[in-house]
Amino acid sequence: MSNTILEIKNLSAGVENKRIIKGLNLTVNAGEVHAVMGPNGSGKSTLASVLAGREGYEISGGEVSYLGRDLLEMAPEERAREGVFLAFQYPVEIPGVNSTYFLKAALNEIRKHHGEQELDAMEFLSLVKEKMKLLELRDDLLKRSVNEGFSGGEKKRNEIFQMAILEPKLAILDETDSGLDIDALKVVSEGVNKLKGPDNAQLIITHYQRLLNYIVPDFVHVLWDGRIVRTGGKELALELEEKGYDWIIKQEAVPA
Amino acid sequence: MTQETNSIETLVKKEYKYGFVTDIESESAPAGLNEDVVRMISLKKEEPEWMLEWRLKAYRHWLTLTEPKWPHVKYPPIDYQAISYFSAPKKKGEGPKSLAEVDPKLLETYEKLGIPLREQERLAGVAVDAVFDSVSVGTTFKAQLAEKGVIFCSMSEAVKEHPELVRKHIGSVVPYTDNFFAALNSAVFSDGSFCYIPKGVRCPMELSTYFRINASNTGQFERTLIVAEEGSHVSYLEGCTAPMRDENQLHAAVVELVAMDHAEIKYSTVQNWYPGDEEGKGGIYNFVTKRGMCKGRKSKISWTQVETGSAITWKYPSCILLGEGSIGEFYSVAVVNNYQQADTGTKMIHIGKNTRSTIVSKGISAGKGQNSYRGLVEIRKGAANARNFSQCDSMLIGAQCGAHTFPYIEVKNTSSRIEHEASTTKIGEDQIFYCNQRGIETQDAVNMIVNGFCKEVFKELPMEFAVEAQKLLGVSLEGSVG
């Protein structure tokens, strides 16, 4: 058995008396790419938020272990430093804060956490140059303020670029494909594929199958009403594309 | 939303680093103000008769005035008879002739504050005048400046050594009739700095004055005058701190700047007077009149201020743009936390043709702080083609603070152009979470976001002070977000 990175057991979570995730189980091992698919309101983004530690969510049951530790006990920044990365569905703008400065601060926090020496400006720049090639990023993006005035595609690309620099153990991509045109989608996917490695894992949350034309998952999970109701290989995504979510939901209602 | 306010409002107070008191024997005038006190101050300073006359006229005028009530700040009435109007570190015999003769305790104080006065230890390229309570304790680099003809000394010294210059310019920009606090200052001003940059000289170093209030129950009333002759250039910085005390202390300064043809004065302030504790007890009342006169053609006056201290701040560094093609600038960061209140802004009075002004104001409110921007852009009839650009941005941290904007615009010339932009943002839980998710903890995230917000102003500060200002901002807001 390979190394387990993430293990979610019977997780229930929601906001203000509204349960959104209802007994979810999921295990992600190193080297794996998992896709979580589901219709709107099925709990996809809630799952991403709970894993990253966003405030405002109530955990009403279950447990989440990350590299053997209780993830839910960790502060958001600690999760990040331990290698949990969330590529945001809506990356936030931070006016006046230079992108490069921001990313250097983030990387050095992570390095400090692991007892590694912080990178100086020159070392960091050479790392940036190396990773920029990966994503065909225009270098003027890094001279601008964090996400400020970026197009939708640029923001998403920037998220993947940050992921490339920070080299997470567990990358959660929250609807990274939404709002991307086909070219941007290709670039983002290629980036994600290049970042895949034997020691890390990716959890790709998406509504549509089209991202999975470019990122090939090892597992596809269908999320419906806060639970994973079906798990399969990449062919499950294609089937979903063809038949729609209703197909599974109906089957779910009348177990075979 | 409740989640957001709950987490944002956990307030923890960061200790005020400069709150110590220097144990030094000082000589203070008894509390209270009357003509005899004014005479006493003038006598102590061995002033010429004209100076005393001017003070007395100011005092008599002050008696006819009432304290202004229009600022958007609240404080209990000030008892002007309970304040001591003069305090000076006791001198041993004659006054210090050089820094070597200054009381070592005073030098120690400045070192604690990070302002070394001993020349060999001084910041490279910055000449410092230090004002302790009411008197100047020493000015560095005098000799080097004198070579270029630059005069940089305490106001008391200037009155004695350069009476013709002082007499010509004092009150020329801020007359003693200007307002209540300016009149009070004119009557009792104790010291301050005087700078004179002769024609065509580019001042070879930054000039800096460091103000420190030490004694209790005293007011500090310093007066600064900077005169830049034709084609000259000077960059001046003032810094301020005070000990932590339970009572409120009054600081009512006057700053006057005069710029002749093609002259340029850059005046930067990092104000960090004691702001009071987290319950709003104590702190400095900072009621200051600052004004610059662009007298000559194409002259330029630029104010940059970073205001993080004081219980109450009430000041409007302004420019009178008299000379044709003259330029006025105002860049401001004002931070209020806990119970601090600030009513600050600027006035740009366009009189000459083709005059231009820029206003960039960044107000940050945290805790229960109240921050108001108040600004006047006035275009007089003869100011053809005058231009103004104003940008007033407010940032709110938490749900119990306030940001207010009072822009006044008066235009009497149709060829002028005025732009005003304003925005109010709340530091978002989303922004903080985004930083957290990248490994940056909340306090660092707030500093980063706030510094980003203030960037346009910080870049106007001289390099070494910009770094200082960023740190100061971090300290002022420490604990404002939980």
Per-residue pLDDT tens for B338-381? Answer: 888 889 999 999 999 999 999 999 998 888 888 999 999 999 99
- From the list B433, B438, B452, which residue is nearest A95 (CB)? B452
Mean pLDDT of chain A: 89
When pLDDT is averaged across residues B252-273 and rounded to a whole number, the result is 92
CB-count exposure of residue B317 (10 Å: 0-12, 13-18, 19+): buried
The three-state secondary structure class of B215 is: coil
Chain B closest-CA separation from residue A229 CA (Å): 29
Which pLDDT band holds residue B244 (cuts at 50, 70, 90)?
A: low
CB contact under 8 A, A76 and B436: yes
CB contact under 8 A, A94 and B439: no
Chain A closest-CA separation from residue B312 CA (Å): 28
Q: Which residues contact B338 (CB under 8 A, 6 or more apart)?
A: B11, B13, B275, B276, B277, B278, B279, B280, B366, B367, B368, B369
State the sign of the Cα–Cα–Cα–Cα dihedral A67, A71, A73, A78. Answer: positive
* Domain definitions of chain A by residue range: 4-253
CA angle, A169 then A173 then A176, to 5°:
150
Give residue B270's pLDDT: 82
**Contact residues on chain B for A170, CB-CB shorter than 8 A:** none
Q: B444 phi and psi, to 5 degrees?
A: -65, -35
Which pLDDT band holds residue B4 (cuts at 50, 70, 90)?
A: very low
When pLDDT is averaged across residues B200-226 and rounded to a whole number, the result is 79
Which pLDDT band holds residue B327 (cuts at 50, 70, 90)?
A: very high
**Contact residues on chain A for B456, CB-CB shorter than 8 A:** 96
The span from the CA of A167 to the CA of A175, in Å, is 19
Chain A closest-CA separation from residue B437 CA (Å): 5
Q: Which chain B residues have any C-beta within 8 angstroms of a chain A C-beta?
A: 3-4, 7, 428-431, 433-442, 444, 448-449, 451-456
When pLDDT is averaged across residues A218-223 and rounded to a whole number, the result is 94
B184 has a pLDDT exceeding 90: yes
Give residue A194's pLDDT: 86
The span from the CA of A76 to the CA of B61, in Å, is 62
Q: Which of A112-116, A224-228, B41-45, B101-105 has the lowest mean pLDDT?
A: B101-105
> Which helix (H) or strand (E) covers residue B296, if one does?
none
Give residue B366's pLDDT: 86
Give residue B12's pLDDT: 28
Chain A closest-CA separation from residue B156 CA (Å): 43
Q: Are B84 and B28 in contact (CB under 8 A)?
A: yes
Give residue B124's pLDDT: 44
**Contact residues on chain A for B7, CB-CB shorter than 8 A:** 55
CB contact under 8 A, A94 and B433: no
Give residue B368's pLDDT: 87
B113 has a pLDDT exceeding 70: no
Q: At what angle do helices B429-437 and B442-458 cross, to 10 degrees?
A: 110
Least Cα distance to A89 among A145, A146, A48 occurs for A48
The span from the CA of B452 to the CA of A129, in Å, is 24
Buried b (16+ CB within 10 A) or exposed e, B272-311: bbbbbbbebebbbbbbbbbbbbbbbbbbbbbbbbbbbbbb
**Contact residues on chain A for B473, CB-CB shorter than 8 A:** none
Tokens of residue A241, six digits = 């594309």
Strand locations in B31-168, DSSP E?
87-89, 126-132, 135-139, 151-154
Question: Is ipTM beyond 0.90?
Answer: yes
Separation in Å, CA B393 to CA A147, A180, B255, B359, B424: 20, 33, 26, 11, 6
Tokens of residue A209, six digits = 């199958």
B94 has a pLDDT exceeding 80: no
Give residue B9's pLDDT: 34
CATH code, A4-253: 3.40.50.300
Q: Are B252 and B283 in contact (CB under 8 A)?
A: no
